[in-house]
Amino acid sequence: MKARDIMSTDVIAIKKDTTVEEIAHLLSEKNISGVPVLDDSSKVIGMVSEKDLLYKDIEPHFPPVVEILGGLIFLKSVKQYNEELRKLVATRAEEIMTKKVVTIGPDTEVERIAELMIEKDINRIPVVDNQKLVGIISRADVIKYISQR
């Protein structure tokens, strides 16, 4: 079984200039947990999930440091702090979206899709053909396939 056999083709997607408020409303209204962000040629350039939106309600925690010989050693990732801060001040999709998007092709085997979801800890994977969005697969789609085997 391949991606094309289980993917949803009626994909709800947004543009990079969609506001955070519009995204939150869309996710709530459509009862979905994330959406792909597309450029003007329908290429996937990011994903916005409920998790991304949750950053709007937390305060970033500056990484703890230890001073050794006059230098600062960060005990946690400064990169993670910067990511939290970026999402906290975001007003548009391009500012809050996750930019490293895992995508698959229509001929990707369902078993490989399940592996990617587990390895990358993701809930949905856009399906692209010639760099254009043609579908999306959620964990629920994979579980439905497994239950019907």
In the chain, where are the structural domains located? 3-148
So what's the pLDDT on residue 26?
94
Query: Residue 89: helix, strand or coil by DSSP?
Result: coil
So what's the pLDDT on residue 47?
95
pLDDT at 103 over 90: yes
Q: Would you state the structure tokens that stand for residue 8, as one six-digit string?
A: 């949803």
**Start-to-end Cα distance in the chain:** 10
Domain 3-148 fold is CBS-domain (3.10.580)
In this structure, are residues 91 and 19 in contact, taking their beta carbons and an 8 Å threshold? yes
Query: Residue 52: helix, strand or coil by DSSP?
Result: helix
Angle in degrees, CA 62, 66, 67, rounded to 5: 120
**Percent of the chain clearing pLDDT 90 (strictly above):** 58
Q: Model-level pTM greater than 0.85?
A: no
pLDDT single digits (tens) 140-149: 999 999 898 7
71 pLDDT band, cuts 50/70/90, is low
In this structure, are residues 7 and 142 in contact, taking their beta carbons and an 8 Å threshold? no
